[in-house]
Structure formats: structure tokens, C-alpha cells
Chains A and B, each alone.
Chain A
């Protein structure tokens, strides 16, 4: 049997989500994957399980397009980085392609090894990302979630924040989010819709990225 598939992974969008175990990174990736499939794309989404979920580093790779081959995003080829925590975004920002964009939650979570005095948390991770000349948008997703009364809404706020940066319909993504919650936790469906809208509005109001002070890479 011989196959002649479309060459390479032309037209594939690579989304790298990163954060900390327990933040809902995987749920957000799952929702985006479903939205991509609903829009008629082929998709591959990785899941990180095991030890990483215990407060450790969590990443998820979502790739969608006409045909997706490799499961993982090749080094330095992410189109969009969704950072659920500021230092985690700094950790992974090098995976963006030149011209790639980042949407980062301003939340900072120091791990026990920092509290124990073994390592330092960077003074301002967001500034360090900006210094690299990245097209960066920030959103205070935790504050927005708290203001809506439930810090667990944070990942929906993040989805709202990236909704206009993906080659997917923001409205369809929103319906998908609401629909999933309507099926699982009906009481939270409308609230998640509001969280999505709040994230979408907040990120569009964020200051435009400062002119690059360093050349890309």
C-alpha cells in the first residue's frame, strides 16, 4: 500500500499552552481542540499526565490544519503561546516562531522550591518576555475570575483572551465552552460565558506591545 499525503504540515496552526498542574491548562487545550475539529480541521493534541500534574510544569501542544502529522510542535515553531502563569510563559517563550504571539496571564505562582529559598522567582517575567521583542498581550485572568466569584474560571478567561488571535471563530469557541459546561455543570454555563467575554474584552484593552527593543531571537 502506498500513500501520497500532502507534503509536510502546510497550513498547520501550532498552539502551545503552558502553566502549572491544576490550573486547567489541559481542559483549555481540550476545548480548543474540539473547536478546531468543529471548524473542520484535522487536529492533534497532546496530554501531559503523571508527575507533572502535582503542581509541576504542564504544557499541552495543540496542532490543527488540513492535515497534522507529528504530535508535538517542532522546536521554535509555535504560532501562539498561551501562558497561564507569567514565569511559565517565560520558560516556554523560546518555542515561538519568529513573529509568533503570546497571551500571558499576569498571575505569578512561586513554587515551594522558591519559598524554601533554593531558587529565585524572576523580578518581572512579563518584562523579560517583552524584552525579547515578542508580540505580547497580557491579561489578569485570576483577578477577572475572582471578580466573577470563582477563581476556577481562570482558564475560560484565558480562552476568551486568545479567541481573536486564532484562525477559528471566537463565537463558535464561546458556544463550545458554554455548551461543555451546560452538559457538565449547568449552573456554571452562563458564568463561563461571562468569563470568556471578560477575557476577550480585557485582552483587547491591554496596551499594545512596546516597540521591540531587541531584535527577534
Chain B
């Protein structure tokens, strides 16, 4: 029995936007759904994997996932692909050219924007892709609309013969609300249509597609103007009228219930004529959009007098409070009251931490000790936390795979004092397979001198533990071929003696290895091989403790950054040479300690011992 397919048709179920999109993809009769995990879009594919009769699979990166979906569309199937906003930067090569050729089976691409940057490196506005690629874009405001818009997107895609972009934001993806569901349609029975002038993008063929793209643009403009995905929510106060879309539109309605609102659901092409007609019914027009002034600029270019980013912020979420203040500003009024905005700033920060026993703790502990002698290029994943306290062992982090490549740039162009330093790249297993491999190939080929730390914790950790080709399992938990990282990097030309697979919990060995390899002027790869502690692959060991009488308060173990290690008290003493010294005495919270052993060697007086000596003979000390 499958709980998802058992839901009564027409009944209302609490679904997140991601779950609602997944449901609609399945209902649409899609045969293939692909994605690379990325917040806030990850759960779309995770949910699809639980539906029958659809092939849901993780891809190694977003470009690959889009191209797999395009192939499925060309053979006539309905296909779907999901990604976070920055994922489209990777997939854009495929998008921009396939947009010209179009598609055969319905092809829907969901792009999830992280408005407010809760888990991303930038806040780019994906609506630009609609304009850039000449593709229609639909924008739901909540989970119920996410369901409806996804169904509409498949229809539109086949009607117009091109991919349709579905723009989501965090407040759609991760907000649960009531959604009524429907039945699954039979998948269309179609086949591949040989048409090399359309599917083979030779310059001459592509050129002949351009006039057809112009025609398609005109069709889409007419469809957008008429679309019933765009709704007018009327109001009695006609002094201001607001054009908005996505969750911001719902916040507009809540903040200003008497203000007429044109809520756009089909946002590219911008329905300019529909908005022009709306503008005539109100005194002043305001566009409330997250986040760039895209609609605002389109309206200004069409000669429509409009306000937007002159009174509303250019980044972050357009919440009810933000909107109330913006409209007050537009009316030249003082905001009625300035409500408290968010958390109390006087309370200490609580940044995310690595987990107790995380296999990334010791690599960053080691790098923090070699800090002054190295330039460290980082990458995207849990391990980006290595840039923070207490390690502060990361100098750069830009995008997926950029550790290895930027390290090469640092290595080949450094001068002066920097030449005396080693260059280290730190990258995780999934990020390496996503976009790091080519960088390593380039590093080897160009004979640069970089030590690559490949932190293989056998999962996509940051997004909640997904599978990838390095884990040996697929999205359903079924066994899949597993890549051999040691063999892979050797095959790329890294010298066999420069490739090491090490247990990161053996901290002294890891430290020696990093020190040695960073001093050899060749490409080295150090692969750590313990799994993420949040996965089933991790086997906890008996906990450790600090023997209170033996602890000298040196604080050495605290530098590991393990959150199971806590400070019991602080003292200031004077050393023999007359200097004052801060002491911090430690304890280990046995409820959290995973017995990984990494902190043992950081304690000079050997005060860290097994909680129960009998349970941990390997650590018994004499």
C-alpha cells in the first residue's frame, strides 16, 4: 500500500509546495523526473521517488538532470526536472539552446529561489531565465497553486512546444497548506520524431529556429495576457493598486485587504496589456515582486507609470510588515508603528555547527593548525562551516566545485609572501562528483601544486543525506554501482603515491599526512573515509569523558569544534614568565559524544578517556 496514492481524490491534504509539485508531476503522467539535491527544492524528487510508475532519479548535477529530462521529452514522454536557483546556472547551457529547439513531450523545469538566503550563496532571481531563454514562466503562491500550476505547465508545454519554467521560492517549497489532489493521467503514447533540422542545433538549423521563436514569443504574450492563472482580487480602496506574484501576493492581500491586487500566475512574458488595463482602475500602481524589479522595468518600458523598488526593498522576503511600511512610504505617511523586526539582536548568535563526531572535525582541526602556512579554497557543503569558529580554516567559497579550480588560480598566480604558503582545496564527495572532477583534471593537466582534501562522508549531507554515485545506492535505496574515488583520481593522472585514503578519526596520522603532502610540489589528493554521523552508515562507538582531576584547562580539545565538548569553567593564571593565560576546563556530554576518538590526541595530559573503560578497550591507557 502506498500512502500517497491512497489519498482520496478531491480530499484536502496538508502538503508542502514541494510535495504538491511532486503530486502534480505524477498526476500529469510524467515518465521521468530528475534533480540534484538543493535547498529549497530537494523534497520534490524525494517525494516523487515514493510514487509508482515514474522514474525518479538523482543526477550528478543540474546540467545532467536537465539534459536527461530533455532526452525523455524528445522521445515523447512527459518529463520533469527540479533544481535550486543556482542549479540553473549550471544547467543554463542546455536550457538556452533547447529553448530554441523546443520540446516534444511536456517538459517542466522547477527552479526554487532561496529568497532571504537561508541556505545559499546568493539570492538570484530566476524569473530572468524566462526572459533570457524566451520561455514561459509560471509562478505559484502556495502549495495548492503549486499543484495547479504544475498541471497547467505540462499542458502549456505541449500546447506551445517548449519547456515551461516553474518558479518557486522557499515560502512555496517549505510551506504546508491544504491541497486537493487528482488522479494520475495515462502517460501519452508517443515516439521520437526524427527531425534533425529541429533537434540538431547546427548554426544553420538554429538560425532557422529564430523566426519561429519570435512567433512563439507572440503566442506566449497573448496567452499570458489571458491566463486564468493570473487573478484579480478586488478591493474598495482604489488609491493604490498592486501587482504581485508568488507568496508576496498573499502577504499583500493580508497587509492591505482593501487594496485591489492583480496576482500574476503567468509571469513571463509579463502580461503588460492586462496590467495596463488594471492600472486604469487605480490611482497609483505598485509592483511588489521578489526580488529584482523585473516586472517593474517591463512596465516602465511599456510606458506605464509604476512604483516598485523606490519604496520596497530590493532583496529579502516581502513580508506583511515590509509591505505595510512600503505602502505607507508610497503614500507619504509615517508607518503607523515600527514593529520589532525579527529576533532580539542582544541574544548571542547560534550559528549552525558541525555535528558531534562529524568526520569533518579533524580535517578542519588540522587545517586550523596549519592556517598561517596555507591558502585554503573551500566548497559548498556542511564543511563550509569550517570557515567559522573555532577553525576559521577556509579562505574562499563561491560555487559548486570552485575549490579545486580557484585553488589552481591561487597556486599559479601567487607571489611574494603567498608563494611561501601551500595551497589546499577542500571539497566533499558529492560536490566533487557534481563539478569538482573537471577541476581536478585541469589541475593535473596544468601541473599546478595543490593539495586536494576530498572529504568523502558518503552522502549529500547539507540537504539532509541524499544518495549519489559515490554512495553505492540510488534514490530508492537500491544498490547502484559505486564510484571508486581512489581509482578515479589516479585515472585522472594524480600520481599513485600522492593519493591517500585515510580515517579522519586517526587525527595524528591525518595531521602528518596533510603536513607532508602540502610540502610536496605536486598535486596530492587526501580522501577521508568516514561516513556522515547522521546516516545509517555511521556506527557510533562508546562515549568518552574528561577526567576532571587530569584536565589542565589548556582548551586544546575545544579547538576540535566538537559540540559534545563543553567548557565547565574559565580561569586566568599567570605563567612562570609572567604572562597571563586564559584557561578553559572541559567536559564531554556523553549523550552527544559518538566516541569518534578524534579529540583524544588533542589533550596533552591524556585526560580524555573512555566513559566506561570496559566498553572501549582500544582506548585504554596505562
- Which A residues are within 8 Å of any B CB, using their own CB? 1-5, 7-9, 20-21, 30, 33-34, 37, 42-57, 68-72, 74-77, 87-88, 90-95, 110-122, 125, 151
The reply to whether A119 and B349 form a contact with Cβ atoms under 8 Å apart is yes
| Bound Cα distance from A152 to B338, whole angstroms | 39
The reply to whether B40 and A49 form a contact with Cβ atoms under 8 Å apart is yes
The reply to whether B339 and A70 form a contact with Cβ atoms under 8 Å apart is no
Verify if B478 is at the interface (C-beta below 8 Å from A).
no
From the candidates B16, B320, B561, name the one contacting A72 in the complex (CB within 8 A): B320
Verify if B502 is at the interface (C-beta below 8 Å from A).
no
Contact with A along B271-311 (1 / 0, CB 8 A): 00000000000000000000000000000000000000000
Verify if B208 is at the interface (C-beta below 8 Å from A).
no
| Chain A: minimal CB distance from B16 (Å) | 6
| Bound Cα distance from A83 to B503, whole angstroms | 40
The reply to whether B340 and A114 form a contact with Cβ atoms under 8 Å apart is no
| Chain B: minimal CB distance from A32 (Å) | 11
Interface size on B, residues (CB 8 A): 64
The reply to whether A8 and B178 form a contact with Cβ atoms under 8 Å apart is no
Number of A-B contacts (CB under 8 A): 192
| Chain A: minimal CB distance from B556 (Å) | 13
- Counting chain A CB atoms within 10 Å of each CB, the highest count among B174, B570, B584 belongs to B174
CB-based nearest A residue for B320: A74
The reply to whether B339 and A75 form a contact with Cβ atoms under 8 Å apart is yes
Q: Which of B73-81, B186-194, B228-236, B437-445 contacts A (4 or more CB under 8 A)?
A: B228-236
From the candidates B253, B347, B354, name the one contacting A5 in the complex (CB within 8 A): B253
CB-based nearest B residue for A6: B257
A92 cross-chain contacts in B, Cβ below 8 A: 343-344
Contact flag A122-B347 (CB < 8 Å), given A116-B390, A151-B591: yes
Contact flag A57-B39 (CB < 8 Å), given A1-B228, A5-B233, A7-B257: no
| Bound Cα distance from A76 to B565, whole angstroms | 37
The reply to whether B253 and A55 form a contact with Cβ atoms under 8 Å apart is no
B354 cross-chain contacts in A, Cβ below 8 A: 54
Q: Which of B417-469 contact A (CB under 8 A)?
A: 462-464
Verify if B142 is at the interface (C-beta below 8 Å from A).
yes
The reply to whether B566 and A90 form a contact with Cβ atoms under 8 Å apart is no
Contact flag A54-B175 (CB < 8 Å), given A49-B464, A91-B347, A118-B389: no
The reply to whether B582 and A70 form a contact with Cβ atoms under 8 Å apart is no
Verify if B254 is at the interface (C-beta below 8 Å from A).
yes
Contact flag A74-B321 (CB < 8 Å), given A4-B234, A46-B174, A50-B119: yes
- Which B residues are within 8 Å of any A CB, using their own CB? 12, 14, 16, 39-40, 42, 118-119, 142, 171, 174-178, 228, 231-234, 247, 250-251, 253-255, 257-258, 317, 319-321, 339-344, 347-355, 382, 385, 389-390, 462-464, 558, 561, 563, 565-567, 570, 582, 584, 591
Supply 17 A–B pairs (Cβ within 8 Å), ascending by A: A3-B232, A43-B178, A44-B177, A45-B177, A49-B464, A50-B118, A50-B119, A56-B350, A70-B247, A70-B319, A71-B250, A75-B340, A91-B344, A113-B389, A115-B565, A118-B389, A119-B348
B232 cross-chain contacts in A, Cβ below 8 A: 1-3
CB-based nearest B residue for A85: B350
| Bound Cα distance from A122 to B355, whole angstroms | 24
The reply to whether B341 and A75 form a contact with Cβ atoms under 8 Å apart is yes
| Chain A: minimal CB distance from B250 (Å) | 4
From the candidates B12, B39, B317, B561, name the one contacting A50 in the complex (CB within 8 A): B39
The reply to whether B351 and A56 form a contact with Cβ atoms under 8 Å apart is yes
The reply to whether B231 and A2 form a contact with Cβ atoms under 8 Å apart is yes
CB-based nearest B residue for A125: B347
CB-based nearest A residue for B461: A54
B251 cross-chain contacts in A, Cβ below 8 A: 69-72
Contact flag A51-B119 (CB < 8 Å), given A93-B344, A94-B344, A151-B591: yes
| Chain A: minimal CB distance from B498 (Å) | 32
A70 cross-chain contacts in B, Cβ below 8 A: 247, 250-251, 253-255, 319-320
B118 cross-chain contacts in A, Cβ below 8 A: 48-52
The reply to whether A115 and B389 form a contact with Cβ atoms under 8 Å apart is no
| Bound Cα distance from A203 to B253, whole angstroms | 37
A121 cross-chain contacts in B, Cβ below 8 A: 348
The reply to whether B382 and A8 form a contact with Cβ atoms under 8 Å apart is no
| Chain B: minimal CB distance from A189 (Å) | 18
